[in-house]
Structure 1
Amino acid sequence: MKIAITGGTGFIGSKLTELLINEGHEIVILTRKEKHPKNGVSYVKWLEEGAASENGLENIDAFINLAGISINGGRWSRKHQKQIYDSRMEATGELLRIIELLPKKPSIFISASAIGIYPVSLQAVYTENSECQTDDFLGRTVYDWEMKARKVEKYNVRTVLMRFGLVLGRDGGALPLMTLPYKFYAGGTVGSGRQWVSWVHIVDVVRAISFALHQTRIIGPVNVTSPAPLTMEEFGKTISLVMNRPHWMPVPSFIMRLALGQKSKLVLEGQKVLPKVLLDEGFQFEFPKLDSALSDLYK
């Protein structure tokens, strides 16, 4: 397949590009910077004045939209929240414009999303059929992002919304910050410890995206989380065990709120999310349990 990727040089995008190249696909990455083709990847400039991106995107079979400012970086000031929201709306809107102009439409459009669309809960268990949330910043952002992405369906393009959980990788995402206290023998339970952490190894993230490319029955929301979510206390104890470090210094909720502001919700609140669609379609997780995932990342 000829696949166009936005955010193709980021945390998830770079790993995905490597996997798809190894599978024999032709990759085109949309970027703001001029780049020459390299290692089987070509580049098309976009989101810059005068960039007629559609001219370099003929005969694309699939679009994968991973573009957007990371929610993990920076304090959630009003300015940063606006940048997080606007970056996703702008990128998705530009892809809609491009697809509208293409004489040959792609067969599939995969858009990144997040489990933040589900309400925070200690008791509820969420699948793709569960009710979604729109009453806080992250919930509204994800909901609006998905609604915009679904506009491509009017062109009869199969649309898949990959709702990522907490993505674990050694060189990106939230894990390096979560494990940092343990490296200094100061790790412990964050907040109440009862909040759910629906996590997933980066390897299974990119494998799930590839899986959705080829499984034509997959349409709409897809939870990209391990089938074995844990509470924050269990999560911390597993880090302690794998890294052979003590788990003893609790971090009270008010400290996290002082340090991170509204972004503290990412670690103080959570949802128990299960990947029903992936499991029903026969997807096999390479790292279904946290201890094996962390052992792989820190071996």
Structure 2
Amino acid sequence: MKIVIAGGTGFVGQHLVDYFSSKDDEIMILTRNPHKYQSDQNIHYIEWLTPEGQPELEIGSADVFINLAGESLNSGRWTEERKKRIIESRMTTTREMIRIMGSMQHPPHTFINASAVGFYGTSKTDMFTEETKQPGNDFLADVCDMWEKEADEARTLGIRTVKTRFGIILDGHDGALPKMALPYQLFAGGPLGDGEQWMSWIHIYDIVKGYDWIMEHSAIEGPVNFTAPNPKRNKEFGKVLGKTLSRPHWIPAPSFAIRTALGDMSTLLLDGQYVYPSVLIDSGYTFQFPTLREALDDIYKSE
């Protein structure tokens, strides 16, 4: 299989590249700086989003396009300028991928575009599935809604379009978990705010296997929640994390201090949503790590 990935050098992208290249699939990674990387037999770096880049000519044909590209949400306060970059980075890369696919004589049969559970907005009482059509009314929901609508333009090309709504991705070396674990490792872990906010999480291995599953099951399209089937409230998540690390769960971080320090970005820590992966489960996917304890045990046993 020939797979084109935007964002292939990022956190999730690196895991997908490692997995699919190990299966002898051909991977083409779109990047502004291809000369920074060394191509090999299965992995090729293609210049795009530059005046010199002509990715459609280098790609030729492909089976699947995957878009993971976009400015990080958790690397600084959400100033108005930062919010603008977060939105524009996602719109630009998605439009360019659709342009490339539309210019191909034999376009891919599948387009998988990243999104996030932020689409649903936040709630301490509601459960959200892919049947929830109305987005929330905050900044993250607006970003996800705009991003997904842009991705849906691929459907006009006759391409199966899947929008993977990521929850909190758990990995021992990258993403949110190392930052969450640090206070516990320093014997200072505890609930964030009142601890009642839901945390819909997923092990990085289930991200990779879930993408493989989607690519092999052509009936799946539209939004797909990439969350484990057992979300936890923040206070329960912290207790499991503390127990896994053999550390106490006791010092709460007050909401006002987090909101003062982070501004709007504090919603990533203090607000959440209970998201259930109905599409994956109904299609027969079996989670390798369905419970938080199993996921954390796996991550920290390999540390």
Alignment TM class, shorter chain as reference: over 0.9
Amino acid corresponding to residue 66 of structure 1 in structure 2 = L
In structure 1, the residue matched to 2:160 is: 158
In structure 1, the residue matched to 2:71 is: 69
Which of 122, 132, 135 in structure 1 is aligned with 2:134?
132
What is the rounded CA distance, in whole Å, between the counterparts of 1:194 and 1:62 in structure 2?
39
In structure 2, the residue matched to 1:120 is: 122
Q: In the alignment, is residue 3 of structure 1 matched against residue 3 of structure 2?
A: yes
Aligned partners of 1:225 and 1:273 also within 8 Å: yes
In structure 1, the residue matched to 2:27 is: 27
| The 10-residue stretch of structure 1 (165-174 or 5-14) with the greater mean CA deviation from structure 2 | 165-174
Deviations 1:247-280 (A, max 9, x none): 1101111111012111110111111000000001
TM-score, length-scaled by structure 1: 0.98
Deviations 1:190-213 (A, max 9, x none): 111111000001111111111101
Deviation at 1:94, TM superposition (A): 0.6
What is the rounded CA distance, in whole Å, between the counterparts of 1:57 and 1:38 in structure 2?
15
What is the rounded CA distance, in whole Å, between the counterparts of 1:132 and 1:202 in structure 2?
27
| The 10-residue stretch of structure 1 (34-43 or 132-141) with the greater mean CA deviation from structure 2 | 34-43
Which of 247, 266, 269 in structure 2 is aligned with 1:267?
269
Deviations 1:53-98 (A, max 9, x none): 1111111111000011111211111121111111100100111111
Segments of 4+ moved more than 4 angstroms? none
What is the rounded CA distance, in whole Å, between the counterparts of 1:259 and 1:174 in structure 2?
17
Deviation at 1:134, TM superposition (A): 4.6
Q: In the alignment, is residue 244 of structure 1 matched against residue 232 of structure 2?
A: no
Aligned partners of 1:72 and 1:173 also within 8 Å: no
Q: How does 1:75-224 map to 2 (within 5 A)?
A: 75-224=77-226
Aligned partners of 2:121 and 2:138 also within 8 Å: no
Deviation at 1:135, TM superposition (A): 2.1
Gaps of 5+ in 1: none
The alignment's C-alpha RMSD in Å is 1.0
What is the rounded CA distance, in whole Å, between the counterparts of 1:211 and 1:23 in structure 2?
14
Amino acid corresponding to residue 75 of structure 2 in structure 1 = G
In structure 2, the residue matched to 1:278 is: 280
Q: 1:151 to 1:190 in 2, by over 3 A?
A: same
Aligned partners of 2:197 and 2:272 also within 8 Å: yes
Amino acid corresponding to residue 270 of structure 1 in structure 2 = G
Count how many residue pairs are aligned between Structure 1 and Structure 2: 299
Deviation at 1:131, TM superposition (A): 3.1
Deviation at 1:9, TM superposition (A): 0.9
Aligned partners of 1:119 and 1:132 also within 8 Å: no
Which of 40, 48, 66 in structure 2 is aligned with 1:46?
48
What is the rounded CA distance, in whole Å, between the counterparts of 2:98 and 2:150 in structure 1?
9
SS in 2 for 1:48: coil
TM-score, length-scaled by structure 2: 0.96
- Identity in percent: 44
What is the rounded CA distance, in whole Å, between the counterparts of 2:172 and 2:243 in structure 1?
17
In structure 1, the residue matched to 2:15 is: 15
What is the rounded CA distance, in whole Å, between the counterparts of 1:132 and 1:94 in structure 2?
27
Gaps of 5+ in 2: none
Deviations 1:127-148 (A, max 9, x none): 1001332521111000000000
What is the rounded CA distance, in whole Å, between the counterparts of 1:180 and 1:60 in structure 2?
42
Amino acid corresponding to residue 202 of structure 1 in structure 2 = I
